[in-house]
Amino acid sequence: MTIKDIARISGVSVSTVSRVLNQHPDVSEEVRHKVLEVVEKYNYIPNNSARSLGQTKSDNVGLIVRGISNPFYTTIIREIEKDIEDAGYTMVMQQIAATEDELLAGAMMEHDKRLLGLIFLGGRFDYTRDQISSISVPFVNCSFNNAYGTLDETTYSSVSIDDTQTACEAVRELYKEGHRRIAVLLSRPDDGSVSQIRYEGYVKALTEIGMVPEEDLIISVGSYNIADAYHGMLEWLDKGVEFDAIFSISDNMAMGAMRALRERGISVPDQCSIVAIDGIEVSEYVAPPLSTYCQPMEELGRTSVELLTDLIEHKGDHKQVILPTTFREGGTISKRA
């Protein structure tokens, strides 16, 4: 029984079956129901076709990348791929949307690909013990940690920057240059992920400075996409809120916002300063080059693989590693007169 048999019997395409099994949102309830009925009837265990039935062992290490259009991941993926290979394993990658559940994708991949271990690149910061119980191989959270979760430090591994502290520094930098109406560009302030934790750094900075965070200054665009940042920024600008600076939770979103500002005739940095976090290559080539706090991408990837292989080979215990960022000056911050 393969996924193709399930598709044939259900009268739908293989990719529809795959979407159902991966709990993808864009499948109708009717189709989902029909497919799951067939899956149950034939007691089908997703196992990537009959070809793999002969296998009992693998050297596969999984990489689940959440947030598929994020250019920030490109360098990290490359480093992880190289280091997994150098360590004698095979990387199996799956890219999922930021709206999908990485733990479910990981659990299915563990089963389908007989994984020895898993790296989650991007994900929620709020795993509970119950949620991670679906994963039975060692895993490492890369670029995020368990800040909002309930995991015991001895039971999980993560490699990340200090998101809150970096956001806090970024906002303080804007304040230091004289800005007092500092907006924050983010996906959602409560997404349990990067958007939320960096937003909290923004709030922390303002509070420490003695300013009151204002609802009006939250530019919440609902995703991490450059296109959504651009459109969301345009909409927000049309509200006419007074502001003199923007802290963007990512380089990618900052580039979308910069186009919106340009189209509304707002000059960066003269009329609006911008600072972001991530430090992707291309944001150094926009006009003006983006001022941003760079994540140590190679090191994030390398350390994740080191932690994971140590766990797989029983040479190390769980660790939470925090890596430092470096400020790239750029040209999007001006001193306010």
Examine residue 256 and tell whether it contacts its own copies (CB under 8 A): yes
Site residue total, its own copies (CB under 8 A)? 53
Residues sharing a CB contact under 8 Å with residue 137, sequence separation 6 or more, in sequence order = 110, 115, 116, 117, 118, 312
* Closest distance to its own copies from the beta carbon of 78 (Å): 5
Which x/- pattern, by CB under 8 A, does the window 70-89 give for its own copies? Answer: -x--x---x--xxx-xxxxx
The end-to-end CA distance of the chain, in Å, is 71
Query: Of 194 and 305, which has the nearer Cβ to its own copies?
Result: 305
3-state SS, residue 4: helix
Determine, following the binding rule CB under 8 A, whether residue 94 of this chain makes contact with its own copies.
Answer: yes
Point out which span in 25-33, 93-101, 159-167, 171-179 binds its own copies (CB under 8 A).
93-101
Per-residue binding string, its own copies, 1-30, x by CB under 8 A, is -xxx---------xx--x------------
Q: Residue 50 has what DSSP assignment?
A: G
Q: Three-state DSSP class for 170?
A: helix
Instruction: Let me know: does 308 contact 140? Beta carbons within 8 Å.
Output: yes
Residues 222, 289, 296, 316: which binds its own copies (CB under 8 A)?
Answer: 289
Instruction: Determine if the peptide bond prior to 269 is cis (ω within 30°).
Output: yes
Q: How many residues does the chain have?
A: 337
Is residue 266 close enough to count as binding its own copies by CB under 8 A? no
43, 51, 270, 337: residue in contact with its own copies (rule CB under 8 A): 51
What are the tokens at 319? 């660790």
189-208: which residues touch its own copies (CB under 8 A)? none
How far is 108 from 97, CA to CA, in rounded Å? 16
Q: What is the torsional sign of CA 121, 85, 139, 154? A: negative
Binding site for its own copies (CB under 8 A): 2-4, 14-15, 18, 48-49, 51-52, 54-60, 68-69, 71, 74, 78, 81-83, 85-95, 113, 116, 226-227, 230, 252, 255-256, 258-259, 262, 281-282, 285-287, 289
